[in-house]
Amino acid sequence: MSMSSQKTTSQAIPTTRRVIINDAAHMPHDYSTTPGGTLFSTTPGGTRIIYDRKFLLDCRSSPLARTPPCCLPDIPGVTSPPSVTIKNDKAHPKKTVNNNSISPLADKSAGEDAQFEMDI
C-alpha cells in the first residue's frame, strides 16, 4: 500500500552539452564550476547557464571576443565604428571611442541637467 505512493518515475538524462577548451584561461578555477558555464539544476526557474565574473573577464581576451561586431551603429562619442582599430587590452579597452568633439554639447547639456535636477 505504501509502496505505491513511494514509486517515482524515471527521468531522461539532461541534454549533453559538449564544451571545447581552446585556452587555459577558460578552465574553471574551482571545483564547483564546470568549463563553459556551470549548469545548476536546482536554481529557481530550472537549469541555468551560469558564469562567474572571473570567467567572463577571461573570455574577453579570446580572439572571438576581439573582432568588432557587425552592424555596430556609429554613434559619435559612444560607439567605435568597426573600421577603427581597437586595442582590447584590459587597462584601456575603449580609449579610441572617446570622441572629444562633442564636448561643447556636453557643457551645454550639463547646464540643462542642473536645472532639470532642480525640477525633480
Using the minimum distance from each CB to other proteins, give the nearer residue, 8 or 36.
Answer: 36
Residue type, 103: S
Q: In 7-46, which positions are buried (b, 16+ CB within 10 angstroms) versus exposed (e)?
A: eeeeeeeeeeeeeeeeeeebebeeeebeebbeeeeeeeee
As a whole number of angstroms, the distance between CA 30 and CA 34 comes to: 9
Q: How far is residue 117 CA from its own chain's centroid? A: 32
Using the minimum distance from each CB to other proteins, give the nearer residue, 29 or 103.
Answer: 103
Q: Write out the binding residues for other proteins, residues 42-101 only, by CB under 8 A.
A: 43-46, 48-53, 55-57, 59-60, 62, 64-69, 71-73, 75, 77-80, 82, 86, 88, 93-94, 97-98
Instruction: Rule CB under 8 A: say whether 28 interacts with other proteins.
Output: no
Cell numbers representing residue 30 in the block = 574551482
**Footprint of other proteins on this chain (CB under 8 A)?**
20, 22, 36-37, 43-46, 48-53, 55-57, 59-60, 62, 64-69, 71-73, 75, 77-80, 82, 86, 88, 93-94, 97-98, 102-103, 105-106, 108-110, 112-114, 116-117, 119-120
